[in-house]
Amino acid sequence: MIRQATVHDVPRIAEVINSHAELGKMLFKSYAQLYEGLRDFAVCEVDGKIVGCGALSIIWADLSEIRSLAIDEQSRGRGYGRQLVDWCLAEARRLQIRRIMSLTYEQAFFAKMGFEVVDKDTLPLKVWSDCVRCPKRDGCDEIAMVRTLAEVPVMAMPETAPTPKGVSIPVLEYVEE
């Protein structure tokens, strides 16, 4: 069963993620980071045990990111990773976010989920905010992959309204290839 995560799930989420982090496959997560981002998370529960987790974070109006996708070593290869990605895609659809990205070493898995490799330089700088915490930040070898939800309309980026004192806040320009 895939469901949204609660605070009760955090210790087990940390255990699953950090078991892969120890092998250099993903970033370590502290309890503090997990509580802070908990609204983004779904878990996969089988017979009362959390066997995997995944999160969808909003980057921008037209871009979200699948993060912290991890399945317990003993439960891999049973379709749970796919179910968690499907949850993330449904969440992006609900939020009307057209593109979903992933930075990953699991290229073949994400290709099966409909993601395509893109040049990292095409992603906005905000994507790299986590890199300061990554030991590989100067030699990043993760692959950037993106899936576009054709059924979600292209969004015209909103102009920022001036503040009461007339200061306007800049927004990034939007270009879809």
Residues that bind ligand COA (CB under 6 A): 20, 25-26, 69-71, 76-82, 102, 104-106, 108-109, 112
The amino acid occupying position 36 is E
Q: Which CB atom, from 77 or from 164, has the smaller least distance to ligand COA?
A: 77
The amino acid occupying position 8 is H
Least distance to ligand COA from the beta carbon of 115, Å? Answer: 10
Least distance to ligand COA from the beta carbon of 44, Å? Answer: 8
Q: Which residues contact 33 (CB under 8 A, 6 or more apart)?
A: none
Q: Which CB atom, from 75 or from 174, has the smaller least distance to ligand COA?
A: 75
Least distance to ligand COA from the beta carbon of 79, Å? Answer: 4
Question: Given the DSSP bridges, would you call strands 41-46 and 49-60 parallel, antiparallel or unpaired?
Answer: antiparallel
Q: Which residue has the tokens 């990953």?
A: 104
Task: Confirm if 93 and 149 have CB atoms less than 8 A apart.
Answer: yes
Q: Measuring CA to CA, how many Å separate 168 from each of 119, 151, 164?
A: 31, 32, 10
Q: Which CB atom, from 64 or from 102, has the smaller least distance to ligand COA?
A: 102
Residue number, nearest CB to ligand COA: 81
Least distance to ligand COA from the beta carbon of 173, Å? Answer: 28
Q: Which CB atom, from 133 or from 162, has the smaller least distance to ligand COA?
A: 133
What's the rounded Cα separation, in Å, for the pair 41 and 129? 19
